[in-house]
């Protein structure tokens, strides 16, 4: 595996790359609070099949640049970064890439396909459906979430600058990473201000078979180096993104798409998401969508929890194009 920095869109983006230099590119976009490393199982599997797996640390994460301004983390900034990565790694302007996204990476992948379908051959998205599509620009999504779930809902807790960062510093990065990565409650995620969510510091958090202490240590090292402000700044742009997406209200995703979610994923239990995925609206918004897959007994970090199953779904789908 090679590691490179790609300069473009005003920032340096770190990418992990494995596979033949002339192989079709598969761009793997991680979520919160993850890194390129969350694709550690899929990268070699894709490379072994002749694909060039490219997994960036998104802006604000890991070894990529982390601008200090909240306004530097809109959907336009992040998609611009990914266009810079695609341009740097493709051999011509006409070359298209496959995209796989999870969590925030899935949301960015939807926007990437919305803004630049000319760059995308096909899309595999995990956990976050296109129900977070552009809507009335006057609507403030964070206010809606607050009305549904209250002030303790994690997206709402992330809004006050410095607040969740201070809480994470108090609790400790290792405990925070373990608690989030092992979260399996099929319900909206609330983080009360009394820090009770994180549990007692002397209480151990058992790891599942798919997550090792070494894996956690890698995440902890990178988040302690970079901090959490960049990653939570994505959430602080929810309202701004909806304003910026005004020109695309009513637009459809015109890219062949596969979607997968676990039936224990907290996103599956957000208001209206289950109905959206299993009803007609998803296919209306994404006309080239294959039948969504709901994996039983699987939680949010699906690409880490079921690495080989997700790899096979990716390979089976992209091999059609």
Clarify whether 103 is annotated catalytic.
yes
Indicate if the alpha-carbon torsion angle 265, 270, 275, 277 is positive or negative.
negative
Q: Active site residue: 14, 30, 102, 300, which one?
A: 300
Which residues, listed in sequence order, are joined to residue 98 by a DSSP beta bridge?
A: 26, 122
Q: Active site residue: 61, 111, 154, 235, which one?
A: 235
Clarify whether 41 is annotated catalytic.
no
Rounded-to-integer distance, Cα 111 and Cα 87, Å: 17
Rounded-to-integer distance, Cα 155 and Cα 75, Å: 16
Q: Active site residue: 57, 65, 81, 103, which one?
A: 103
Clarify whether 81 is annotated catalytic.
no
Give the residue numbers marked as catalytic: 103, 235, 300
């Amino acid at each position: 595996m090679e590691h490179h920095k790609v300069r473009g869109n005003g920032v340096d983006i770190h990418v992990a790359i494995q596979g033949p230099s002339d192989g079709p590119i598969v761009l793997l976009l991680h979520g919160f609070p993850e890194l390129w490393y969350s694709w550690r199982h899929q990268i070699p599997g894709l490379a072994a099949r002749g694909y060039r797996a490219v997994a960036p640390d998104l802006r604000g994460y890991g070894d990529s640049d982390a601008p200090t301004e909240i306004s530097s983390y809109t959907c336009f900034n992040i998609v611009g970064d990914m266009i810079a990565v695609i341009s740097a790694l493709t051999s011509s302007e006409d070359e298209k890439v496959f995209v796989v996204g999870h969590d925030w990476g899935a949301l960015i992948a939807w926007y990437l396909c919305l803004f630049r379908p000319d760059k995308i051959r096909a899309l595999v998205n995990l956990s976050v459906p296109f129900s977070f599509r552009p809507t009335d620009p006057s609507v403030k999504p964070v206010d809606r979430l607050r009305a549904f779930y209250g002030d303790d809902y994690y997206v709402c807790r992330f809004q006050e600058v410095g607040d969740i960062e201070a809480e994470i510093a108090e609790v400790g990065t290792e405990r925070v990473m373990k608690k989030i990565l092992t979260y399996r409650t099929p319900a909206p995620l609330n983080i009360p201000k009394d820090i009770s969510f994180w549990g007692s510091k002397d209480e151990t958090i058992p790891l599942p078979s798919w997550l090792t202490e070494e894996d956690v240590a890698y995440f902890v090292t990178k988040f302690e180096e970079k901090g959490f402000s960049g990653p939570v700044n994505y959430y602080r742009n929810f309202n701004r993104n909806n304003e910026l997406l005004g020109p695309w209200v009513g637009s459809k995703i015109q890219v062949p798409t596969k979607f997968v979610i676990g039936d224990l994923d907290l996103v599956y239990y957000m208001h209206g998401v289950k109905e959206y995925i299993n009803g007609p609206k998803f296919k209306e918004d994404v006309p080239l969508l294959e039948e969504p897959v709901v994996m039983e007994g699987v939680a949010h970090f699906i690409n880490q929890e079921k690495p080989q199953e997700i790899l096979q779904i990716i390979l089976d789908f992209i091999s059609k194009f």
